Amino acid sequence: MNSTSEEQDYRLPCGRELEQVWDRLDAVDAGFGDEHETGCPHCSAARESLRALRAATAELISEPEQAPPDLFGRIMSAVRADAHRGQALELPTPAPGRVEVSEQAVAAILRYAADTVPGVVARHCRVRGVATDDIHRVEVRMSVVIRIGHTTVGAALPLVRARVAAALSARVGLVLERLDLVVADIVDEGDDRR
């Protein structure tokens, strides 16, 4: 019998196929084996291995694994983390293939850039890819806290805008299409709110 690429031919040294030994396992165990089956050491060894395999399979089936009690919580944590990560943004690359980064990772870089402006603390940042011919553009909405005494709103916001745009371009490789800045709070220099 010729074997095809999908069908493997597993012959024992005695010439019998392993599948044939498997098919005749119950018959041989019941005492209906032919002369070859009862006397061949290769068939006998194969039957022992197949019996062990059958016993292990039966044991696995009869004793189903209980799910850990915290499995549902772990699954939901993974789902929430994935949802929080946001969409993937494609980055420009000279090499073949794609490079993507999550919106959440880009937002972290932009919050850090805003925090480098004296008297400014970035709060929330949302990054979204813009559907244009240039797939490397994003829109950003960021809320900040301004600490008066360190700076003024009029002086801080242009610096935040410039540093966010620079970080987006230099650190990530994306172009800022639009930046909406929201002053979420203005606090006095002595106030410890962040």
99-128 per-position pLDDT tens digit = 888 888 899 999 999 999 999 999 999 998
Distance of CA 163 to the CA centre of its chain: 31
Contact 156, 183 (CB under 8 A): no
| pLDDT class of 82 with cuts at 50, 70, 90 | low
What integer is the mean pLDDT of 130-146? 83
Rounded Cα–Cα distance for residues 7 and 12 (Å): 16
Higher per-residue confidence, 190 vs 151: 151
103 burial type by CB count under 10 A (0-12 exposed, 13-18 middle, 19+ buried): buried
DSSP 3-state helix, strand, coil percentages of the chain (rounded to 5)? 45, 25, 30
d(CA 149, CA 169): 31
| Statement: residue 10 has pLDDT above 90 | no
